[in-house]
Amino acid sequence: MLFLIILILAFAGSFFLPWWAAAIIAFLAALVIGGKAGKAFLSGFGALFTAWAILALMKSIPNDNILASRVVQLFPLPNNWIWVLVVTAIIGGIVGGMSALSGALIRRAAKENN
C-alpha cells in the first residue's frame, strides 16, 4: 500500500514539482501510513527507484538516448546509456528509502512518547 501511494504521488508530482519533492512525498506517506521501519525503507526505495527509472526512460527514449550516451562518457562507467539510467534510479531509490524511513521512525517515536 505504501509502495503504491509513494509511486503514484511521486510519479504524478514529478511533472510539476522539483525533484526533491519526491523525498517529501515519501516522508509524508510513511509518516501518515506508518508501518515497520524496514518495510517503509523498502517501499520508499522501490517506489522511487521505479518512478525515476520510468521517468528517465520517458525522457531518454524520444531523443534516441543521445544525452544519456554523452553523459555516460563523463563518468567511469561502461560505455552504455543503460548505466546512466541505473545510477539515476539508484539515487532516486536511496532518496525515497531514507525519506520513508525517516517518516516511519518519527511516527514510531511520536507514538512511544504518547
| Helices 37-60 and 2-13, packing angle to 10 deg | 30
Rounded Cα distance, 106 and 104, in Å? 6
- Confirm if 105 and 29 have CB atoms less than 8 A apart: no
- Confirm if 72 and 64 have CB atoms less than 8 A apart: no
Rounded Cα distance, 35 and 83, in Å? 33
Give the pLDDT confidence of 61-104 residue by residue, as tens digits.
Answer: 898 888 888 888 888 878 788 888 999 999 999 999 999 999 99
Domain range for 61 is 2-113
pTM: 0.90
Number of domains in the chain: 1
Residues 6+ apart with CB under 8 A from 96: 6, 10, 22, 23, 26, 44, 45, 46, 47, 48, 49
Q: 44 falls in which pLDDT band (50, 70, 90)?
A: very high
Q: What is the DSSP track for 41-89?
A: HHHHHHHHHHHHHHHHHHHHGGGTTHHHHHHHTTTTS-S-THHHHHHHH
- Confirm if 97 and 45 have CB atoms less than 8 A apart: yes
